[in-house]
Amino acid sequence: MDFELAKRLSQPNTTKIILCVMDGLGGLPREATWRSEMEQADIPNLDRLAKHAEVGLTVPVGPGITPGSGPGHLALFGYDPYVYDIGRGVLEAVGIDFELGPDDVAARGNFCTLADDGTISDRRAGRVATDISAKLVERLREIKLDGAEVLVEPVREHRFVLVLRGPGLGDAVSTTDPQRVGLTPIPAAGADVASQKTAALVNEFVAKAHAVLANAAPANGLVLRGFAKYPQLPQFPEIWGLRAAALAVYPMYRGLAKLAGMKALACPGGMEEQIRVVREKWDEFDYFFVHYKKTDAAGEDGDFERKCHALAEFDQYVPALLDLGADVLMIAGDHSTPALMAAHSWHPVPFLLHSRYCREGGAEHFNEQECLKGSLGRFPAVDVMPLAMAHAMRFEKYGA
């Protein structure tokens, strides 16, 4: 919804809202049984909750659109993912807890293998091992540019982050990745004066990097994409009038929450610790975003059984989540990650909202098929926040 309207309707209250995101929640049925992960998994607590909750399916971005983690979460926080598009470079930086400043342009980097004729023969340098990659990053850090500081951070395997730090840099810079083997890396180009300055620095960096990496085959080249500055998002606490905390183990989700203006609380130990920290910080915040990664990780690995186990593990924490006594408890997913596809997908995502003001639907369990019968039907994920505000009695009446 329009943020000005949200601010106008928002009214103070003492109610608490919890959003649990089970990453990659939705799945697909296996042909052998025609049961999805959620249908197969042993999740009695979620099933019980679904009967008297408002349930439905969220459409993360749009019909047929498979979201990345950024848009998937931002939509649940109330941001229209078509309007608020976080650059890949920023997401990678945020994902390794790198603090981006206002003079920084970040890019996602991949080591690649260059053939003798300068064309790319492997776009991921044989998925070079993380420790070797880290040593190569140290070599890249020695590169000096006139006009910007060069910061390079390893991520994992062939992936790294490049940050150029300097005044007057733009981020409308084209990729250097030709996206196919047999082609040479493309020179970066800028769409405006500030970005042309960045592009010139990028091209100088690439040339020096290729010299530095000459004897480092298979990782003797690199490509860069997703150039982006730290975005100025409207801040979640100001839009909704909620003091907001994020409880996530993985840096990328903490980073996303910080972009939105939430306070990221340390909880490396997983769900047990996340719930404990929510309880400890109960009085300091009105909204808690709790992130659970294992469902997505298993889905991405194409491991149907492990995804079922991840669902069952989360289910065991549901009584403790309910015990916290939030006025609104939501169980959602940022997107589907069917084990069958071993990847994110576009399919709508099961969603559940528990409060005192729930209207029942016909759902008897918490899964893709039963959520179709719920009182919320299929609806855009950006509508989750206004719904939560209403159930928390934090929106005043519209019009007389």
Give contact residues for its own copies (rule: CB under 8 A): 1-2, 5, 9, 28-29, 34, 36, 52, 61-71, 81-82, 85-88, 91-92, 108, 226, 338, 340-341, 344-348, 357-362, 368-369, 372-373, 375, 377-379, 383, 385-391, 395-400
Interhelix angle 193-212/130-140, nearest 10 degrees = 120
At 162, phi and psi to the nearest 5?
Answer: -110, 130
**Least distance from its own copies to the Cβ atom of residue 388, Å:** 8
Nearer to its own copies, 118 or 377 (CB): 377
Pairing of strands 263-264, 149-156: unpaired
Nearer to its own copies, 101 or 399 (CB): 399
**Least distance from its own copies to the Cβ atom of residue 56, Å:** 9
**Least distance from its own copies to the Cβ atom of residue 229, Å:** 15
For the record, the structure tokens of 45 come out as 């607590």
At 270, phi and psi to the nearest 5?
Answer: 90, -165
**Span between the terminal Cα atoms of the chain, in Å:** 20
Nearer to its own copies, 29 or 241 (CB): 29
With beta carbons less than 8 A apart as the criterion, state whether 277 and 263 touch: no
The SS3 assignment for 109 reads: strand
**Least distance from its own copies to the Cβ atom of residue 67, Å:** 5
- What is the rounded distance in angstroms from the CA atom of residue 1 to the CA atom of residue 182? 46
**Least distance from its own copies to the Cβ atom of residue 107, Å:** 12
- What is the rounded distance in angstroms from the CA atom of residue 263 to the CA atom of residue 189? 36
DSSP assignment of 34-59: TB-HHHHS--HHHHHHHHTSEEEEEE
Nearer to its own copies, 1 or 320 (CB): 1
- What is the rounded distance in angstroms from the CA atom of residue 45 to the CA atom of residue 25? 16
Nearer to its own copies, 56 or 190 (CB): 56
Nearer to its own copies, 218 or 255 (CB): 255
**Least distance from its own copies to the Cβ atom of residue 179, Å:** 10
**Least distance from its own copies to the Cβ atom of residue 389, Å:** 6
**Least distance from its own copies to the Cβ atom of residue 121, Å:** 21
- What is the rounded distance in angstroms from the CA atom of residue 130 to the CA atom of residue 133? 5
Give me the residue label for tokens 């549901």: 318
With beta carbons less than 8 A apart as the criterion, state whether 382 and 1 touch: yes
- What is the rounded distance in angstroms from the CA atom of residue 11 to the CA atom of residue 79? 20
Nearer to its own copies, 274 or 345 (CB): 345
Nearer to its own copies, 82 or 141 (CB): 82
Residues 3/6/12/16 CA torsion (nearest 10 deg):
-90
